[in-house]
Structure 1
Amino acid sequence: MSSAGRSPVTGGWLDPGKKFKEGVRPGKRRLGLALRSLCRLLRSDDPGETGRQPLKQAEAAKRLGCNAGDLSRYLNDHRIPPQDFLECLYKEACADAVVSGQDAGISLQALLGLRASALGEQRDCEYCLETGGRVDALIQQLNAPCPACEAHQRQQEARRRQRKQLAARLRSARTEGARLRMTVAELKVTVADLKTELAEKSASEAGLRERLAAAQGARAQLPVPRRPGDRQLSPKDVSAARQLVAQAEELDKSGREDLAFTLLRQSTTELFSPPETALVVAELRYRERDRLADDLIHVYGRDQETQDVMAVALELHEKGAPDDAGAMLRAALG
């Protein structure tokens, strides 16, 4: 007999574990247990009660048309209730069970079969005992789980587990997809930054080439070659030197010190005369570009011909920069 959805009651007259009176035979015990189960379905209709509470024994007896003593003997003693009592109890229990969303757990025919079995047991009637045994067997078959239902339940449970697994995989895939999309977005930003940096570098190199070309154009070779001892600077020479230093200073301020030094080195070694180179060094000192001045002195003194190095050192000394002149000579000496 099913008891699905039914809360167990412990203690009191509805306790399923309550002992039967000594001598109560098995058939009557089975009937008593069935009666107790049905009585547990009975609920109070009192509007003053909180929720639908189980009935007290006296209330149940009154509702079923008997007294509390008879009801107790029906449930716990040898006394076998009449058929009309069983029908009344079954009707009332089914009505309350429907309201509570439960089921009686036994059919009326099965309940009457238990009564017949108990009566046969009481009378020692072989036919009644056989009938009761058949009824008990039928009840057991009814209560036994259906193989098809069990298979269906197992199939449904397997499907539920599969759906959960698929849902978990889907969540994992979505999380991984979101992570990959974020990674792709970050890579796109990195690529864009690299492209911008490359474009800036290309623009800087192009600007440097333009400046070198402009310097070469501004420093056109004189129609008459300058004599080695000619140290006079024309206004055009002074302007070209100062323009070169201004361009180098602009690059240095923008964080492109390497490009600034390249511009200075190539211009002084390929285009400028020693007096112009000395003027470039002095102008760098004046503009407080000491690092560029030091690097230019070192590289020029190390790489240029001795005659040019000595000429630049002499110009620096005469311009009041003996330290720079000495540094250039030391660089030439290695």
Structure 2
Amino acid sequence: MSSAGRSPLKGGWLDPDKEFKEGVRPRKRQLGLALRALCRLLRSGDPGESGRRPLKQAEAAQRLNCTANELSRYLSDSRIPPQDFLECLHKEAGTDAAADGQDVGITLEALLGLRTGALAEQQGCEHCLAMSERVDALIKQSKAPCPGCMAHEQQQEARLRQRKRLAARLRSARREGVRLRMEIADLKVTVADLKSELAEKLASEAGPGERPVAAQGAGAQLPVPRRPGDRQLSARDVSAARQLVAQAEELDRSGREDLAFILLRQSTTELLSPAETALVIVKLRYRQQDRLADDLIHVYGRDQENQDVMAVALELHEKGAPDDAGAVLRAALG
């Protein structure tokens, strides 16, 4: 039986280790220990005091309608208390335990059974001793853990552990998502910078009459969309497509397939023209990155405008990839 973590002062009247008087028999000792545990649940209800302290022995005796001397003999001597004392103590202890959110720890029937055993021990009655032993066996049986309850508790613990693992995985996935978004942003800047550098290089190498057009290309961060009939690729377009495929291939080789696909999807839908996108698909096939090419075709055909999808399909067909042209059209049709 537990006092819910509130240990009495050593040597006090509530000390569970306090010595019994000489000659106290085992069953009376068992009853005395149960009475001490119940007395430890009694609390002061004085509104003038802060907190609910354990009762002093005289206070407990007054509340239990006995003298302090009688209470001491019930707890530590061979004196066996009457039944009405046990009923009163069990009721008062139960009331205070419930107020503190605790359990009384023993049923009244079990407590009366301990008294019966102590009386039988004192009187030497074989019938009473047998009945007491049966009561002891029933008490032990009642305290034995229920297999069903244990299985349910283990199930609950397993579910709690699983929830904790899932929560940890979710937190990790969110952190990874933030990291990937940051990397994608960095990659976008890298692609834009590469295009800008290429445009500046072309502008510096161009003749005097071509410099204004090249300079305009250098100042633009995103490519200018072409008309459907304008599918002529410049050196800048080819270089951007090669750079994108190389970066995606490097990510794929390092085991970061998801990031490689995200880079391809974001770049082709936000930065590259349909002609450049078709070139990226062709180069992925050439580099034997078939899985990335298939995924890109499916997502591009599904998500992009019909005009862009048709432009990509036409480019693929003219570049000798009719199967991929048909695949991107089928993806657009769902």
Relative to the length of structure 1, the TM-score reads: 0.60
Whichever residue aligns with residue 19 of structure 1, its letter is E
Alignment correspondent of 2:107: 107
Aligned mates of 1:144, 1:49 — CA distance in 2: 40
Root-mean-square deviation (CA, aligned residues, Å) is: 1.6
The CA deviation string for residues 168-199 of structure 1, in whole angstroms up to 9 with x for no partner, is 11111111121111111101011111112222
SS at match of 1:49: coil
> Equivalents in 2 of 1:168, 1:145: separation in Å?
33
Letter in 2 for 1:177: G
Q: How many Å separate the matches in 2 of 1:209 and 1:194?
A: 24
Residue type at the aligned position of 1:110: A
Quote the residue 1:192 is aligned against. Answer: 192
Give the C-alpha shift of residue 40 in structure 1. 0.6
Inter-partner Cα distance in structure 1 for 2:141 and 2:19: 26
Deviation at 1:154, TM superposition (A): 1.5
| 8 Å CA contact 1:16, 1:36 repeated in 2 | yes
2:204 pairs with 1:204? yes
Give the secondary-structure state (helix, strand or coil) at the position aligned to 2:18. coil
Aligned equivalents of 1:151, 1:5: Cα separation in 2:
25
> Cα distance, 1:200 vs. partner?
2.2
Q: Would the aligned equivalents of 1:10 and 1:16 in 2 still touch at CA under 8 Å?
A: no
Q: C-alpha displacement at 1:8, in angstroms?
A: 2.7
Q: Distance in 2 between matches of 1:4 and 1:172?
A: 43
Give me the whole-angstrom Cα distance separating, in 1, the residues matched to 2:143 and 2:17: 20
Aligned to 2:122: 122
Cα distance, 1:98 vs. partner?
A: 0.9
Supply the AA of the counterpart residue of 1:201.
K
Task: Give the residue type in structure 2 aligned to 1:39.
Answer: C
Task: Name the amino acid aligned to 1:31.
Answer: L
Look up the equivalent residue of 2:203 and give its one-letter code: A
Which runs of 5 or more residues in structure 1 are unaligned?
A: 212-334
**Alpha-carbon distance between aligned partners in 2 of 1:115 and 1:145, rounded to the nearest angstrom:** 25
The amino acid across from 2:4 in the alignment is G
Q: Which residue of 2 aligns with 1:144?
A: 144
Aligned 1:262-273 pairs, distance under 5 A: none
> How many residues were matched structurally?
210
When residues 146 and 210 of structure 1 are mapped into structure 2, their CA distance, relative to the original with a 3 A threshold, is closer
Following superposition of structure 1 onto structure 2, how do residues 224-263 of structure 1 map, counting pairs within 5 Å? none
Identify the residue that residue 9 of structure 1 maps to in structure 2.
8
TM-aligned CA deviation for residue 209 of structure 1: 6.0
User: Which residue pairs with 2:53 in the alignment?
Assistant: 53
What does 1:21-32 correspond to in 2, within 5 Å? 21-32=21-32
Q: Distance in 2 between matches of 1:210 and 1:69?
A: 116
Structure whose CA Rg is larger:
1
Q: Following the alignment from structure 2 to structure 1, what is the Cα–Cα distance between the partners of residues 147 and 62? A: 42
Structure 2 residue 89 is matched with structure 1 residue 89: yes
Q: Deviations over 1:132-173 (max 9, x none)?
A: 111111111122222222221112111111111111111111
Judged with a 3 Å threshold, the aligned counterparts in structure 2 of structure 1 residues 210 and 142 are, in CA distance, closer, same or farther, namely: closer
Residue 179 of structure 1 aligns with which residue?
A: 179
Aligned counterpart, 1:168: 168
Q: Secondary structure at the match of 1:127?
A: helix
Asked whether the equivalents of residues 203 and 210 of structure 2 are also in contact (C-alpha less than 8 Å), the reply is no
Map of 1:20 onto structure 2: 20
Query: What is the distance in 2 between the residues matched to 1:54 and 1:151?
Result: 37
Runs of 4 or more off by more than 3 Å in structure 1? 207-211
Percent identical among aligned pairs is: 71
Question: Structure 2 length as normaliser, TM-score?
Answer: 0.60
Distance in 2 separating the partners of 1:122 and 1:76? 15
Return the letter of the residue paired with 2:108: L
Check 1:10–1:155 CA distance in 2 against 1; reply closer, same or farther (3 A cut): farther
Shift of 1:207: 4.1
Alignment partner, residue 224 of structure 1: none
Extract unaligned runs of 5+ from structure 2. 212-334
Corresponding position of 2:80: 80
**In the alignment, is the contact (CA less than 8 A) between 1:6 and 1:102 conserved in 2?**
no
SS in 1 for 2:206: helix
